[in-house]
Structure 1
Amino acid sequence: MRAVSAQWRHRLLAAVLVPGMALATPGGAAQPPEANTQVPMGQLAYQPGPAPDRLVVSPLADASNGFAVSWRTDANVQAPVLELAAQDDSPAFAATRRLTATTTALTAETGVAHYHQVVVDGLAADTAWLYRVQGNGRWSSWNRVVTAAGVDAPLTLLYFGDTQNKNVSHVTRVIRQAMRQAPQARLALFAGDLVSGGDGQDDIEWGEWHAAAAPLLEEVATAPAVGNHEYAELHEDTPQQIKVLGVHWPRSFALPDNGAAVVPHTSYWFDHQGVRIAVLDGTSALEHDSGAEQARWLDGVLAANTRPWTIVVVHQPLYALRTGRDNRALVTHLAPVLRRHRVDLVLQGHDHAYGRRLLDGAGSTVLVSSVAGPKQYRLSEQARASMAPVGEDTQYYQVLRIANDGLNYASYTASGRLYDQWRIARDADGSKRLIEQMDGRIAPRTCDHRAATATGRTDRCWE
Structure 2
Amino acid sequence: MRKRNVIKLSVTALVVIALACWVHSRWNAWFGNPPEAPYAPLSEPGRILLTFGDEDGLSRNISWQYDSIVHPSFVELADTLSKDTTVIKAQGETFSSRSGKAAYYVARLRSLKPSRCYSYRVCSNGNYSAWKHFQTHNQPNQQNYSFLYIGDVQDTINGKTNTYLKKALQQHPETEFLVCGGDLTERPIDAYWEETFRGLDSIGQCIPILNVTGNHDYLKYPIRKLERRFSLIFSYFLDSMVGENQVYTLKYNDMQLFCLDSNREFFYLWTQRKWLKEQLEKSTARWKIVILHHPLYSIKGKYNNLIQRSMFNSLIQENQVDVVLQGHEHSYGRMTLADEQGNRTTPLYTVSHCSPKLYRICFSERFDKFGIDGKYYQQLLVHGDTLSMNTYDVTSGKLYDAVDLIKKNGKTQVMDKGQDIPENLNFVPDLNNRKDREYLEQIKAYKEKRGI
The CA distance in 1 between the partners of 2:91 and 2:375, in whole Å, is 37
TM-superposed CA distance for 1:316, in Å, is 0.3
TM-superposed CA distance for 1:153, in Å, is 3.4
Q: Which residue of 2 aligns with 1:210?
A: 197
Aligned: 1:158 with 2:148:
yes
CA separation of 1:368 and 1:180: change in aligned 2, threshold 3 A: same
* CA-to-aligned-CA distance 1:200-221 (integer Å, 9 cap, x gap): xx11101101101122211111
Q: Which residue of 2 aligns with 1:450?
A: 429
Q: Residue 231 of structure 2 contacts residue 237 of structure 2 at CA under 8 Å; is this kept in 1?
A: no
TM-superposed CA distance for 1:447, in Å, is 4.2
Q: Which residue of 2 aligns with 1:372?
A: 354
% identity of equivalent residues: 24
After the TM superposition, which residues 69-88 of structure 1 pair with which residues of structure 2 at under 5 Å, given as runs?
69-75=62-68, 78-87=71-80
Look up the SS of the partner of 2:361 in the other structure: coil
Q: Which residue of 2 aligns with 1:246?
A: 227
Q: Residue 197 of structure 1 contacts residue 229 of structure 1 at CA under 8 Å; is this kept in 2?
A: yes
CA separation of 1:170 and 1:401: change in aligned 2, threshold 3 A: same
Match of 2:159 among 153, 156, 169: 169
TM-score (norm 1): 0.79
* CA-to-aligned-CA distance 1:57-93 (integer Å, 9 cap, x gap): 11124444321111111225513110111125xxxx9
TM-superposed CA distance for 1:42, in Å, is 9.7
After the TM superposition, which residues 333-412 of structure 1 pair with which residues of structure 2 at under 5 Å, given as runs?
333-359=311-337, 362-382=344-364, 385-412=365-392
Q: Identify which range, 366-375 or 302-311, moves more after superposition.
A: 302-311
TM-superposed CA distance for 1:226, in Å, is 0.4
TM-superposed CA distance for 1:118, in Å, is 1.0
Match of 1:434 among 409, 414, 418: 414
Q: Which amino acid aligns with 1:307?
A: A
The CA distance in 2 between the partners of 1:260 and 1:161, in whole Å, is 22
Q: Which residue of 2 aligns with 1:422?
A: 403
Look up the SS of the partner of 1:173 in the other structure: helix
Larger radius of gyration: 2
Look up the SS of the partner of 1:449 in the other structure: coil
Look up the SS of the partner of 1:315 in the other structure: coil
Q: Residue 80 of structure 1 contacts residue 134 of structure 1 at CA under 8 Å; is this kept in 2?
A: yes
CA separation of 1:458 and 1:98: change in aligned 2, threshold 3 A: farther
Q: Which residue of 2 aligns with 1:48?
A: 41
List alignment gaps of at least 5 residues for structure 2: 1-34, 441-452
Q: Residue 334 of structure 2 contacts residue 369 of structure 2 at CA under 8 Å; is this kept in 1?
A: yes
The CA distance in 1 between the partners of 2:294 and 2:163, in whole Å, is 24
CA separation of 1:452 and 1:96: change in aligned 2, threshold 3 A: farther
The CA distance in 2 between the partners of 1:50 and 1:452, in whole Å, is 52
Q: Which amino acid aligns with 1:451?
A: D
Q: Which amino acid aligns with 1:316?
A: H
- Higher relative contact order by CA 8 Å / sep ≥ 6: 1 or 2? 1
Q: Residue 174 of structure 1 contacts residue 396 of structure 1 at CA under 8 Å; is this kept in 2?
A: no
Q: Residue 51 of structure 1 contacts residue 73 of structure 1 at CA under 8 Å; is this kept in 2?
A: yes
TM-superposed CA distance for 1:147, in Å, is 2.6
Count, aligned residues: 399
TM-superposed CA distance for 1:419, in Å, is 0.7
CA separation of 1:142 and 1:460: change in aligned 2, threshold 3 A: farther
TM-superposed CA distance for 1:143, in Å, is 1.9
Match of 1:98 among 84, 87, 93: 87
Q: Which residue of 1 aligns with 2:60?
A: 67
Look up the SS of the partner of 2:203 in the other structure: helix
CA separation of 1:453 and 1:98: change in aligned 2, threshold 3 A: farther
The CA distance in 1 between the partners of 2:268 and 2:36, in whole Å, is 38
TM-score (norm 2): 0.81
* CA-to-aligned-CA distance 1:149-188 (integer Å, 9 cap, x gap): 1343321101000001316313222212211121121111
TM-superposed CA distance for 1:366, in Å, is 0.6
Look up the SS of the partner of 1:448 in the other structure: coil
